[in-house]
Amino acid sequence: MRRILLLAAAAAVGGSLLVTAGATGATKGGEFGDTCAATQSGAPFGAVFERSHTGSPLPLAAPVSGVLTKWTAYMPALFPAEGVPPFTVRLVRVLGSGEVEVTAKAALESMKPGKNEFETRLPIEAGEYLAFGSNEGGAIVCPPPSEEEEERGIHAASGGIEMPLPQPGGKASFAASEVRVPVSGVIEPDVDGDGYGDLTQDGCPQGAEYHGACPVLHFAPGYTVGNGSVQVQVKSSLGARVAVTGVLPGLGTSLGTRKTIAAGKLTTFNLAIPPALGAQLRKLDSHKSLRVPLVARVNRVTGNVSTDRMTVRIPGRHRR
């Protein structure tokens, strides 16, 4: 007993290290499917998807759009080691009475007894279902509600798809069934729309062009003020399209330029001094200077993750 308690505590600590508070809520919101443990195989379909089940703790259809990042199959505790073909899930959308379209398909996986968890990365739309099956037929399912459960008003509705199962983009007819389907899935948001789940798969959910870390930008501390321009240098941790801009306080005008820079190399940006700024500088005593705040920003990365800031001082040009 003591051993079991210790293991449970270790699992709780491990779990809390892996998920942040925000991720927990989002992951919970994105769980769907049925966690019933399969007890029977050989349902006369290639794949089955569950549409409803009275009192189901989870929604059966995808509750939100995003990326399917994980799917879990709950196999019988006693399960033959051999002779079971690999299984997978297809995402299906019900088109009308008795027809589905397959929108995506995960990799085929070998099943072991009990809980089987698999990572995946499939775009999913709200309302789609997980259809569980193998390429060789003989779906593994949970039994339909018992007579006694039906008397208590518990019903299940599912759709059975016959062989051969369609590939993504294909359509198939389905037959109504009352079996339950032992698979659940986790959906993560994909705000940048790059097909990587923003919580666990996307190192840069602020920009669709980056899936690892977002680029990190740095201004070199020095800069040069010329007659018609200001030169600054910027370095990026990754190749990136970078814009350097400055807003001139009180002038309502801005300076800026953009270029594509290679990873890890200081690159010069030449910021032309606009006429309005030139005019102001000619009125400003040469022993004074104008402070212009600059910001470097990676194109199409939102927020402040891929930005750096510096202020340049541009001396006045009025000599008495």
- x/- mask, Ca ion, residues 141-180, rule CB under 5 A, reads ----------------------------------------
128 lines the binding site for Ca ion (CB under 5 A): no
- C-beta closer to Ca ion: residue 190 or 308: 190
Footprint (CB under 5 A) of Ca ion, residues 199-218: 202, 205
The site string for Ca ion over 230-269 (x = CB under 5 A, - otherwise) reads: ----------------------------------------
> How far apart, in whole angstroms, are the C-alpha atoms of residue 278 and residue 2?
78
Nearer to Ca ion, 58 or 208 (CB): 208
Q: Distance (Å, rounded) from C-alpha 310 to C-alpha 288?
A: 19
The residues that bridge with 91 in the sheet, in sequence order, are: 104, 130
Look-up: residue for tokens 């800026």?
256
CB of 205 to Ca ion, least distance (A): 5
198 binds Ca ion (CB under 5 A): yes
- The owner of tokens 């299906």 is 92
34 binding Ca ion? (CB under 5 A) = no
> Which positions from 178 to 197 touch Ca ion by CB under 5 A, shown as an x/- string?
------------x-x-x-x-
54: region left, alpha or beta (phi > 0 left; psi from -120 to 50 alpha) = beta
User: DSSP states of 67-90 as a string?
Assistant: EEEEEEEE--SS--SSSPPPEEEE
Which residues, in sequence order, are CB contacts of 179 under 8 Å at separation 6+? 43, 48, 50, 139, 141, 142, 143, 144, 156, 158, 160
Q: Please say which residue, 198 or 308, places its beta carbon nearer to Ca ion.
A: 198
Binding-site size for Ca ion (CB under 5 A) equals: 7
Chain contacts with Ca ion (rule: CB under 5 A): 190, 192, 194, 196, 198, 202, 205
